[in-house]
Structure 1
Amino acid sequence: MRWFMPCLINASPFQWRKLYRILKFGVLVIVSSLWVTACINHSSIPNQRSLDSSPAENCRLIHHAMGDTCVPANPQRVVVWGGTELDPVLALGVKPIAGSLNVLSYVKQKLPPQQWQGIVDIDGPQGPNLEYLLELRPDLILGHDSRIGPVYTQLSQIAPTVLDGSDDWKSTFRLFAETLNKTDQAQQVMDNYNTRINRFKAEMHHRLPFTISSVEVRADAIILDTSDSFALAVIQEAGLSLSPALNRYTSQTWALSKERLNELESDAMFLRTWGGITAERQAAQSQLKQLQTDPLWSQLQVVQQGKVYEVGDYFQGGGPITANLILDDLFKYLLSQS
């Protein structure tokens, strides 16, 4: 507790709001867990153990962040808890019965309607609705331990639950492909992605080294895509480099003050606003307009040269679909305009 108190005392308004959201979600998780446990104990819905009278014959054993889980050979009623976790599932040609459909706007803005229409949104104002999840009777739940690890026991009583624990999107994709029995499809998806990466590098090689900065404007902060972020992982795999001044930042120290806007100097910059709920999105758009009138912003050479490109919230994705959307922007802005 001693180490925690100075952090609270010196916390910025952005950090306070983030802490508040975490604490609020924690309370929700505890209450929801108690509710789900009570419902399961009094429900006629069979859990995964009673569904599989002969586990060795009717399911496959999958090793994941929370241990080993026996999953259906070909699951038909898949639920995906988490916005970024939806990407690898859709990329495999699987349409979940439910998921966090509205967390990232790219799903409805960039993907064909047939890929997402009919997916029930399980998110409520305070997060995914466990009560509704129980009613859906899924045969498989997918997610990440950082989001739903605390309620894994309750979820696994509703249906076999597999949680990824990696920060590497390719590792997540492999795990979900194995769980969904779609490893052949996954290999084809990655072969296509690697082909595009190699094509971009071949066409871009004469302009290297080429530096990139990538930033997200929120209502109360300017957030960097750091070298260990999803977007920069794709960008660096494509042969580009993070602006040198930004190498010292990590996912734990990603906020940039206006006084340090000069650190964004690069050969090109990708810019987006936070795409959360409507009120936050509007506030972020307002903040961006203010930023663009700030002299510290206007004097950046990358701004003056017109090398700032507005992109979408797929930059904070986590799978093959969003990785390819980032590649689309690299081709569009860095090659077609060169």
Structure 2
Amino acid sequence: MRNSVLNRIIAAISAIFMPIINIMTAAGITKGFLALFVSLGWIAQDSGTYLICNAIADAFFYFLPVFIAFTAAEQFKCDKFTAVVVAGVLLYPQLTQAFDAAQKINFAGIPVTKATYPSSVLPILMAVGFLHFTERFWKRVIPEIISGFLVPLLSIIVTSMVTLTLFGPMGTWFGDILASGYTYVYDWNPYVSGFFLGGLIQIMVIFGFHWSLVPIVMLNIALYGEDTILPFIGAAAMAQGGAALAVAFRVQDSACKSRILSAVISAVFGVTEPAMFGVNLPLKKPMAAVCAGGAIGGALTGFTGAHAIAFAFPGLPTLPVYFGDGFWGFLGTCVVGFVLGFALTMFMKLDTTPIEK
């Protein structure tokens, strides 16, 4: 029963974030390139060019609750556009400015606690979950002839009120605890953190558990402007490619070799599923090499102090996201992961029949 609930939660997180991963990655890459251009002196931070480029790079992350509201509404079986309006309420400029200025706000006599909604994840998830029950209630009690406009009207009012007075502060508080908890573990020993996360991340991908890290990554970026979880998994992603490349050297069938080389390229570009599910996992032993390469590379990443300034899974196209302190060390650990995955697999006794059939 406990595993069933956990699986359902992870499946829901995956379904909510999967549709926006590509656009999230694109925004992250744009943000990374902008940081790179500023550091090289190609764009001045006080220029109009920077202002517009920063809007292009940051718009997705600022309005992240709107995107999550849309995808979460499908999972929670409620109206998508009503959910988007609720997200819009949370991000309304004057409301955001009042929170930033620590202005005291009351809603019908109820005090509204300050919360940070731009780039947030948890408040809107709770809001859309609550919206499901709100809509269902109003649909039962309101006559069908006037439910078309009255259900969304009352649902928006009630959900917005409950979110601003309860879910917002609660989500912000819980998010702060998650982010602070991870920061505590990282500060305690970044090398051990990197070793375990780097070694386990590809196993987590098999079961979809890696999606549970996405909200924490987004919280870290929203609170601290950077994240250290993503750099830890870079070596493991490259190790998938290295292990698959070793397998490509050992298979005899040319069509199979070509298919594996395509998976290697995909892994180096940050998409490890073809290499994992099509090559390394069916053969089992290469996955041990992947975990070893990821663990050692992850531990070494802890020494570099590398971080990501936006969300983007590690890969060649997303390298600008990791530009800054520890970047070259991060790049080195990715190479280490790839080489270890390749070398360990090359020296293993392998039966490649399962993937050559």
TM-score bracket for this pair, using the shorter chain length: under 0.3
Between Structure 1 and Structure 2, the one with more helix by share is 2
Between Structure 1 and Structure 2, the one with more strand by share is 1
Structure of higher CA gyration radius: 2
Considering Cα pairs closer than 8 Å and 6+ residues apart, tell me whether 1 or 2 has the greater RCO. 2
